[in-house]
A = this chain, B = another copy of it.
Amino acid sequence: MGGGDVPKQTFFNLELERRQAIIKAAVEEFAQLPFEQASLTKIVEKCGIAKGSMYQYFEDKRDLYLYVVDLAYEQKRDYVRKAFEKGGDIFSVLEEYYLESYSFARDHPLFHQVANKFWDSKAEALQSELEKGRLSRSHDFAQFLDDAMTQGKVNKALDPEAVFFVYHAVGKELVDHFDQGQSAQFLKKVLDVLRLGLTTRREEV
């Protein structure tokens, strides 16, 4: 989630307390509403600074938003990184990945909502950022899947693009529903559906 212009230097010169108050208010607002509907006015009111001050720290609303989204993904990376470090086959890595995402959502619900809502943004001003994020994700997964297919872990007859498509869809839906208390049990069952497929297998797995 590469930021655009990121905050100006003045923002980092701020006392910690003030900086944190701004971040807190912004995170709360952007967790509740998508970019287009979130209100900068409400943010400055919530953290008690003047409207004009905000424009000393950030170029505009988009700049503040992308900074907050960046913060959220920084936090999230600390969690999901563990899944890749542990290693194992593609299925155990994916399970670990979603388990870590789940922990992140539980430990940092506001950051989780911010990160998640980001992908639904329709605003013109965000489309290039979204495209960047999507490309980097699909590239990472393609690499990962390619290895698993070469190793014979994943059915070579499948279309890699279609596999990515399915995983992307299910992953997004999973993460979307973390707020609403989806259990780790259920996560396992969803991944089973993907692993095994719908039709009954004659072999034992």
Contact = CB atoms under 8 A, between A and B. Distances in A.
B203 A186 contact: no
A159 B189 contact: yes
A193 to B, nearest CB: 5
A161 interface: yes
Interface residues of A, number: 43
A193 B152 CA distance: 16
A165 B155 contact: no
Contacts of A198: 90-91, 154-155, 158, 163, 194-195, 197
A194 B173 CA distance: 16
Nearest to A169: B173
Given A159-B192, A173-B168, A152 B186 contact: no
A153 interface: yes
A40 B200 CA distance: 52
Contacts of A173: 165, 168-169, 172
A125 interface: no
